Amino acid sequence: MLSLLPCELWDFGPGDLFRGLTTAFSARRQDAEGVLHIPEIGPCLPARTARVAIVLALKALGLTDGTRIGVPLYCCPVVFKAIMAAGCRARFIDVDPATYCLSPQDLAAKRAEVDAVIAVHMFGNLCDMPRLRASAPGVPFIEDCAQALGSRLGGRAAGTFGDVAAFSFHSGKYVSVGEGGALYASQPALQARLSALLSPLPIPSRMDECVHVAATFLRSSLRSKPFWGLAGERLWEMYSGTVGYTSQSPMVLTQSYETDRVATIRRLPRLDSWIDRQRSHAAYYTRTLTVHPAMLCAEPPGAFFNRLQFPLLVPTGEQCTRLASYLREHGISTTRPYRTIAAVAAEHYGYTGDCPQSERIAGTVLVIPCNHTLSGGDVERVAACVNRAWTEIGGRPDHATAPVPAAQESSLHETGHTELQDR
């Protein structure tokens, strides 16, 4: 299906391939020049991946073997891998279905069993960091901002609430460069410990860099039109079905690829415009989708979500499956993130079944396309198709959707929904 619309944006084209290979063959910059400056955050240390960044953050905090790390059950399981790689163990905390982020109430209930917390900001939504810190006073917090670059709460940027913050520039994120991550700590002493842990790690060779750039280009091409519909979707399904969990997303402790760092620096200045456009897409969905209001993720007062992804919380797993199938039949891809997370956590990390909201969410969340490269016509088509599907599978049209912030109350045409230009 040539016209199959991918759900995620893997943005790495021929120009990125050429620039990446050029960077791979140039002299590596010195460490003093290797700092990344993230807007509203400050100077950050580049890391190979966000999962490597979390490992180093746990070590920099001086957490000993066996330390219990509070972590949401509903999140990317590579976070659990990072906890194990650092010699710690996960204590699973439930999430709030209104945001898909850590529940302050469940954290408070399990406070005696937690020595540190990783607060994962899901889908670009932000954890309620002030309430979380009040629920576990005196406990160090790591913010996992892999999906929350550019999000804010009360005017403060994601990554500035915790002791350490980890960011991701993996394919599919806003800054989509292949791999790449970053570490930030507001305390100079902690930042120095992070730097000391990073500096002795092996540096990827020029051949490693070239292979990485070529592989990133190939994977990104397969995840984009028209190759996603021709072969990419089937190849991804085959990979997921044949490669076991333990072999996916390996933990490779090296310094960052220079090609990723340079590409990140080149793309960061465009972040705000991408977020503005994607928030506009999300606002259109919020206004026009006729699903039940509880299926939508509203932005609470004082929050600014980057809307990296647009999740729908479908009432039942059977309805979720039917909705995804309907959209696929009409040329629209969707994802069901971390659908098997409870089973993975139980098999590998000792989860005992005390996060019911997370388990329910994992079985009923459906993410629809929302990325900033979508045209106005694409967004309108997705919304119309979701509305038709929801009516057909037994849902009732419901226009009384959650209120939209005033800043987002503009039509598609007023916000300039045309094909994204190179800017």
CATH 3.40.50.300 correct for 15-198 = no
Read off the pLDDT of each residue in 390-404 and give the average, rounded to a whole number: 60
Compute the mean pLDDT over every residue in the chain, rounded to the nearest whole number: 90
Instruction: Count the neighbouring beta carbons within 10 Å of the beta carbon of residue 234.
Output: 12
Q: What is the pLDDT of residue 360?
A: 97
Q: What is the pLDDT of residue 250?
A: 82
Instruction: Count the neighbouring beta carbons within 10 Å of the beta carbon of residue 114.
Output: 18
With a cut of 90, say whether residue 2 has pLDDT above it.
no
With a cut of 80, say whether residue 174 has pLDDT above it.
yes
Give the residue carrying structure tokens 């977020």: 275
Token pair of 330 as six digits: 């009409």
Top-confidence residue, 275 or 422: 275
Token pair of 248 as six digits: 């996916």
* Rounded Cα gap, residues 132 and 36, in angstroms: 28
Measure the CA dihedral 236/1/379/334, to 10°: -30
With a cut of 50, say whether residue 414 has pLDDT above it.
no
* Rounded Cα gap, residues 297 and 400, in angstroms: 14
Q: Indicate the helix (H) or strand (E) that contains 46.
A: strand 42-47
Top-confidence residue, 406 or 45: 45
With a cut of 90, say whether residue 411 has pLDDT above it.
no
Give the residue carrying structure tokens 């790690």: 201
With a cut of 90, say whether residue 217 has pLDDT above it.
yes
Residue 298 and residue 98 in contact, taking contact as beta carbons nearer than 8 Å: yes
Residue range 270-398 forms a domain whose CATH class is alpha beta
Residue 245 and residue 344 in contact, taking contact as beta carbons nearer than 8 Å: yes
Q: What is the pLDDT of residue 241?
A: 77
Token pair of 231 as six digits: 């072969």
Residue 226: is the preceding peptide bond cis (ω within 30°)? yes
3-state secondary structure of 399: coil
Residue 171 and residue 223 in contact, taking contact as beta carbons nearer than 8 Å: yes
CATH 3.90.1150.10, the chain: domain bounds: 270-398
Token pair of 223 as six digits: 């995840």
The string over 21-57, giving b where at least 16 C-beta atoms fall within 10 Å of a residue's C-beta and e elsewhere, is bebbeeebeeeeebebebeebbebbbbbbbbbbbbbb
> Which amino acid is present at 29?
R
Total-model pTM: 0.90
Q: What is the pLDDT of residue 35?
A: 85
The burial class, CB within 10 Å (0-12 / 13-18 / 19+), for 265 is middle
Token pair of 327 as six digits: 């959209």
CATH 3.40.640.10, the chain: domain bounds: 15-198
Confidence band, pLDDT 50/70/90 cuts, at residue 393: confident
Contacts of 5 (CB under 8 A, 6+ apart): 225, 331, 332, 333, 369, 374, 378, 382
pLDDT one-digit tens code per residue, 346-376: 999 999 999 999 999 999 999 999 999 999 9
> Which amino acid is present at 52?
V
Residue 361's nearest CA partner among 96, 142, 3 is 96
With a cut of 90, say whether residue 417 has pLDDT above it.
no
Q: What are phi and psi of 37, to 5 degrees?
A: -105, 110
Residue 142 and residue 70 in contact, taking contact as beta carbons nearer than 8 Å: no
Q: What are phi and psi of 268, to 5 degrees?
A: -55, -40
pLDDT one-digit tens code per residue, 296-305: 999 999 999 9
Read off the pLDDT of each residue in 270-281 and give the average, rounded to a whole number: 97
